[in-house]
Chain A
Amino acid sequence: MAEQALSGVRVIEYGEMVAAPYATKLLADLGADVIKVEPLGGDPARRHGPFPGGKPDPDASGLFIYLNSNKRSITLDLHSARGQDVFAALVADADVLVHNAPPAQMAGLGIDYRALSQRNPRLVMTSVTPFGLTGPHCDYATTDLILWNAGGVAYLNGGGPGSGAMPPLKTFGEQAGFQGGVNAAIATLGALYAAARDQQGQHVVVSIQESIAAILELTFEYWPYMGLVASRLGVKPIQPLDFMECRDGWIFLCCIEEHQWRGFVELMGTPEWASMELFDNRLTRAQNWDALKLLLQDWVSQQSVTELYRAAQARRIPFAPVSTMGDLLHSEHLKTRGFFATVAQPGVGAVTLPGAPFHFSQTPWRLVTPAPRLGEHTTDVLTRQLGIAAAQVDDLRQRGVV
């Protein structure tokens, strides 16, 4: 097998749900050896689902399987002194530690950069936190909904003309965790690159709120540049740029350049109304969108999503289908690219999940092992990696440390 980009990098993860586990998943899929340290009750993602048949099973959660394949799992009670000793020994031998324990709990769990780096000066320790390690909000309780709002994306979404009563809207899933995770992977790899040069590690702190506030497109700058509060209720400055229902599903109409609109008009058979002054350019089309929308809807509702998508793209008009999950799984394009991956998950069977998010010409992304059962590799890691005698591991198990 071809070697991978991060072969030889050893990572310890003490993570739960998405942020830290996604950061280390990105590294594991590129070849890093990731040991996931779970509390005795397991990562809460094991209880999150989706589950086959909707039946909760800690070894069958879709979210857990996706985030933790290619990793090994050990259990460890970090609230006990002996658990912390084992943890420190693991970290002493690693290049990277990634965790998302709350700041208020870190010291109590033995997750202390100063202490850990004394035994391992080249350690890169990454703390993925909701709001950083200091400041008035650092100990605030959060979930994805809270952070998506704290970062400012939710306020930009939802509502729309005529629907001001509807609240700011969360994006599907655990997007705050994913954004924290991918930012943590970048910062970790940067620090690791520095450590390769001079054998000195460091402490990396990632703020999820900041990770989200950094991706507000052009809206953040409206305040410092023009003194304007960006509003979700604003009418779009140009049109068509909207969702519309076809006879068999939804499509997204997207005419940003004038030639795209002209192409769309031709595609509709050049209806007479299209030459009205009201719809002369993208700005007037937006000003008169209420009227134009009805005219377009009339035509679009008779089309099929796929045919309209293909016909538009053939004219270089960037329409897109509103893909359902089924559409994605059946997409010839994604199939040709080999995007979806399948893992043989013990106790579950073949599970199909999103695969390589990037293609490397020399060092491939690879899905090698299924997600581990809770503590599946505890004995193996403790005896072989840390040299702890099997009898001692049994003792730790009886004392509830592992």
Chain B
Amino acid sequence: MSTTAPLEGIRVADFTWVWAGPYCTLQLAHLGAEVIRVETATRICVTRLLPPWADGEFGFNRSGYFNQYNQGKRSLALDLKQPHAIDIAKELIAKCDIVCENFAAGVMDRMGLGYEVLRQIKSDIIMIALSGYGATGPESHYVSYGPAQVPLSGLSSVTGYRDWPPMHVGISYGDPNGGLHGAVAVLAALHHRARTGRGQYIDLSQQETTIAVLAEAVMEYTMNGAQPPRDGNRVPQMAPHGVFRCRGDERWVAIAVRHDDDWRRFADLTGLPALATDARFATLAARKQNEDALEAIVGTWTETRGPEEATRELQTAGIPAFTSMSNRDLSEDPHLNEAGFFVSLPHPEVGIRQHAGIPWRLSRTPTAVRRAAPCLGQDTDYVMGEILGYSADAIQRLKEENVLN
């Protein structure tokens, strides 16, 4: 084992907020970078203001949403609207390798922190802007909020029940998806910088990164001129293929019968005589044609057992199935707990709480969440003193002047 995380020694100036940008820098923190959030009490990050709050009690440092996506980072309280604050930001950037921001296009430029300025300060800086629409193009100045990204990107038009309106996907998917693609881009730029010594600017549009994961729908249109229909949980290649009600309140199991082999085993296992011998279900084409009847029969089997029981029985027979997991199911899942996925680190205001951790493991270099999410301004003294070399007196003065706020 090496004791050095992959990005040990890499420092990130993090001007992001809400979810897309913070999710990008979270990946860098997971890999060992020192990520310094630049934030202010005068305009508080949206996620610090949103529930869930620890024990239902509101507070800037008590939001599970914020504390989930800012694990492992530090927080510098710096009000960029105050005189001299921009100079301090520049001093910080001079000591950083990466600058990440997800303001609306043009905001960093107007603050005097655009890429052309920053590369004068640090010639090999890597800067990434993650915006809803990207930094160029006729809609680049449009306002973009997470929930609106899912419909904008085309995902809602193909997601939903048959004959129902377009639907959301349950989360503001464009945000994390954009953040993850942003992390890929930054890491690739770091490789290039290691080889050549040169930094660069990266413009990422969440709309585009979401379309990137919708390729099947895009190509159905470009190759055949057709918009794929909304068809619930059904797909052309498999049947039955759905989420079925189980015993209990809002308990469901997902089942995917991939091919005729799965189908024969499914009929054997469930012992539903209608299934094994019924010509309506003998082939995929027949099952697709009689899918309503098929799903009704499958539902009579699932509703007599809990989803875990159904999953066990089906998986033992080699048939893909899984409980439709709630947040509580995930939290208590023996597999995820055994895998060490969850992280519970002490936090000064909310104590020890369970958070989702890192979805991957590296065998040699340690990648662990190293600290709980920071309280607002928790690391101001450290950043100003140890990284930027300010005296304790100077830091105190800047606090009194509300620059460090």
Chain A interfacial positions (CB closer than 8 Å to B): 3-6, 8-9, 26-27, 30, 48-54, 62-63, 65-67, 113, 131-132, 134-138, 140-143, 145-158, 166-175, 178-179, 182-187, 189-194, 196-198, 200-207, 209-211, 213-226, 228-233, 241, 243, 245, 250-252, 254, 256, 313, 316-329, 332-334, 336-337, 339-340, 351-354, 356-363
Contact = CB atoms under 8 A, between A and B. Distances in A.
Nearest to B217: A325
Interface in B345-391: 350, 353-365, 367
A189 B216 CA distance: 26
Contacts of A332: 138
B228 A172 contact: yes
B354 A205 contact: no
A193 B191 contact: yes
Nearest to A241: B147
A140 B360 contact: no
A254 B319 CA distance: 41
Nearest to A113: B363
A199 B142 CA distance: 46
A243 B165 contact: yes
B338 A191 contact: no
B283 to A, nearest CB: 16
A190 B171 contact: no
A200 to B, nearest CB: 6
A333 B133 contact: yes
Nearest to A194: B6
A200 B363 contact: no
A152 B330 contact: yes
Interface in B152-174: 152-161, 165-173
A158 B343 CA distance: 29
B188 A226 contact: no
Given A323-B157, A362-B198, 4 more contacts: A209-B336, A210-B360, A320-B144, A326-B221
Interface stretch (B60-68, B84-92, B392-400): B60-68
Interface stretch (B74-82, B251-259, B273-281, B285-293): B251-259
Contacts of A223: 327-328, 331, 354
Contacts of B322: 140, 142, 146-147, 149-150
Interface residues of B, number: 155
A56 to B, nearest CB: 11
Contacts of B233: 145, 167, 169-170
B339 A135 contact: yes
B328 A203 contact: no
B306 interface: no
Interface string B287-311: 0000000000000000000000000
Contacts of B170: 153-157, 169, 171, 219, 232
A32 B87 CA distance: 39
Residue of A190, A200, A205, A339 contacting most chain B CB atoms (<10 Å): A190
Contact of A182 (B184, B207, B236, B358): B184
5 contacts: A152-B330, A193-B31, A256-B147, A334-B207, A360-B200
B220 A62 contact: yes
